């Protein structure tokens, strides 16, 4: 091959590569975006905990789409990010978002076992997925600090039949400490499908924790469980929170603070109170929608958008240093 031929070959290859990259960078097909937006808007309109707000959010989504706000999305990840930003700016609801996660979509579409109790047998990727076990169900660290202070670092609230042995083992490890610190500073939430077991270690059986209002106006009361055979932890309890503390982690801290069972140290939490559910959109996307609104029993109070105010506000990174002072004050 001559030098001229080689040059022409390299130039052709370069042009081909550029063309391929341009093709890959093209926006998603309009019909696929249309279908995805229609599915999301319908889900929000029919599932959001507050029907009137759900209608407004759904119409906002359709309006943004008509104005071409989502047309430039180059891939499903890009589209999920653009829509999530739009939804948050309009609704101020941290539980309303879209994710590009084909694996989770497949998990959400798994049917319940034929003839089984759907509430028990329906597959839930958060509780039942492989990733949950690999994250040790959120129980990231358990140790004894100086002064015989127990320390439990929980990165997510993931309480299920699968995780109960891990929870029980952690609580047994700190059973003989003189006080316990539960670190929720990087805990964005989660949930339980076996009741309020974590709270049940610190409060008497059948203690009312929160009330949840559903879309149809029903009110469900959340209580500590009556079946826990593990010994309750009755020593002083401190909970660390911050801007990364949200959702179910906030619910735990909020209820324990309201019952005056724990002292809260840190910064104001994230302010995401609503209970959410995940719905498949297509084979690429799912949407998270708020389906329940918690309140302190007999009131309209919760921590949505406001966060939890700590009993002791301290600078980020100094929370553990403040534990001794808080415990000393509580002992007076």
User: How far is the C-alpha of 126 from the C-alpha of 278, rounded, in Å?
Assistant: 10
Please give the pLDDT value at position 15: 46
Residue 110 — very low, low, confident or very high, per pLDDT cuts 50/70/90? confident
CATH of the domain at 68: 3.30.750
Determine, yes or no, domain membership for 22: no
User: How far is the C-alpha of 160 from the C-alpha of 58, rounded, in Å?
Assistant: 33
User: How far is the C-alpha of 302 from the C-alpha of 325, rounded, in Å?
Assistant: 28
> Higher pLDDT residue, 217 or 6?
217
Please check whether residues 49 and 135 belong to one and the same domain.
no
Please check whether residues 40 and 90 belong to one and the same domain.
yes
Q: Give how many domains the chain has, as a whole number.
A: 2
- Give Cα separations from 157 to 137, 139, 186, 189, 257 (angstroms): 7, 9, 11, 6, 17
Please check whether residues 256 and 231 belong to one and the same domain.
yes
Determine, yes or no, domain membership for 75: yes
Determine, yes or no, domain membership for 34: yes
Determine, yes or no, domain membership for 55: yes
* Beta carbons within 10 angstroms of residue 92's beta carbon: 11
Residue 119 — very low, low, confident or very high, per pLDDT cuts 50/70/90? very low
Please check whether residues 285 and 324 belong to one and the same domain.
no
Please check whether residues 139 and 90 belong to one and the same domain.
no
Please check whether residues 255 and 137 belong to one and the same domain.
yes
Backbone angles phi, psi at 281, to 5 degrees: -105, -50
* Beta carbons within 10 angstroms of residue 103's beta carbon: 11
Determine, yes or no, domain membership for 211: no
CATH of the domain at 267: 3.90.226.10
Determine, yes or no, domain membership for 154: yes
User: How far is the C-alpha of 198 from the C-alpha of 214, rounded, in Å?
Assistant: 23
pLDDT tens column, 216-226: 999 999 999 99
| Residue whose C-alpha is closest to residue 232's, from 201, 260, 195 | 201
Q: Which domain holds residue 102?
A: 28-123+278-290
The 8-class DSSP code of residue 194 comes to S
| pTM score of the predicted model | 0.83
Determine, yes or no, domain membership for 155: yes
Which residues touch 25 (CB under 8 Å, ≥6 apart)? 74
Please check whether residues 133 and 192 belong to one and the same domain.
yes
Please check whether residues 62 and 147 belong to one and the same domain.
no
Please check whether residues 185 and 92 belong to one and the same domain.
no
First to last CA, the chain: 91
> Higher pLDDT residue, 49 or 116?
49
Percent of the chain predicted with pLDDT > 70? 89
Q: Cα-atom radius of gyration of the chain, to the nearest Å?
A: 24
Please check whether residues 175 and 315 belong to one and the same domain.
yes
Please check whether residues 150 and 252 belong to one and the same domain.
yes
Please check whether residues 142 and 252 belong to one and the same domain.
yes
- Give Cα separations from 142 to 24, 156, 164, 174 (angstroms): 47, 14, 15, 8
Determine, yes or no, domain membership for 6: no
User: How far is the C-alpha of 117 from the C-alpha of 99, rounded, in Å?
Assistant: 29
């Amino acid at each position: 091959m001559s030098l001229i031929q080689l040059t022409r070959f390299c130039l052709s290859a370069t042009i081909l590569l550029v063309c391929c990259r341009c093709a890959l960078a093209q926006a998603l097909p309009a019909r696929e975006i249309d279908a995805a937006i229609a599915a999301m808007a319908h889900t929000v309109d029919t599932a959001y905990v507050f029907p009137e707000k759900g209608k407004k959010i759904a119409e906002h989504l359709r309006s943004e789409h008509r104005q071409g706000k989502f047309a430039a999305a180059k891939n499903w990840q890009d589209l999920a990010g653009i829509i999530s930003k739009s939804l948050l700016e309009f609704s101020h609801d941290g539980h309303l978002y879209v994710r590009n996660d084909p694996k989770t979509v497949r998990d959400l579409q798994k049917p319940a076992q034929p003839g089984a109790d759907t509430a028990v047998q329906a597959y839930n990727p958060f509780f039942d997925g492989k990733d949950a076990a690999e994250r040790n169900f959120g129980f990231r660290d358990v140790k004894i600090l100086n002064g015989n202070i127990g320390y439990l670092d929980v990165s997510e609230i993931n309480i299920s039949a699968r995780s109960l042995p891990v929870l029980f083992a952690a609580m047994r490890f700190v059973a003989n400490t003189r006080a316990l610190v539960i670190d929720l500073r990087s805990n964005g939430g989660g949930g339980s499908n076996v009741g309020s077991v974590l709270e049940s270690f610190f409060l008497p059986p059948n203690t009312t924790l929160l009330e949840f209002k559903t879309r149809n106006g029903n009110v469900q009361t959340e209580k500590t469980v009556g079946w826990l055979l593990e010994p309750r932890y009755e020593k002083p309890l401190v909970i660390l929170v911050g801007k990364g503390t949200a959702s179910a982690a906030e619910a735990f801290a909020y209820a324990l603070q309201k019952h005056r069972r724990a002292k809260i140290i840190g910064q104001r939490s994230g302010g995401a109170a609503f209970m959410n559910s995940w719905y498949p959109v297509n084979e690429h996307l799912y949407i998270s929608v708020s389906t329940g609104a918690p309140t302190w029993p007999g009131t309209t109070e919760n921590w949505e958008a406001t966060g939890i105010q700590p009993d002791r506000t301290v600078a980020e990174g100094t929370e553990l240093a403040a534990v001794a002072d808080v415990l000393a004050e509580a002992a007076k």
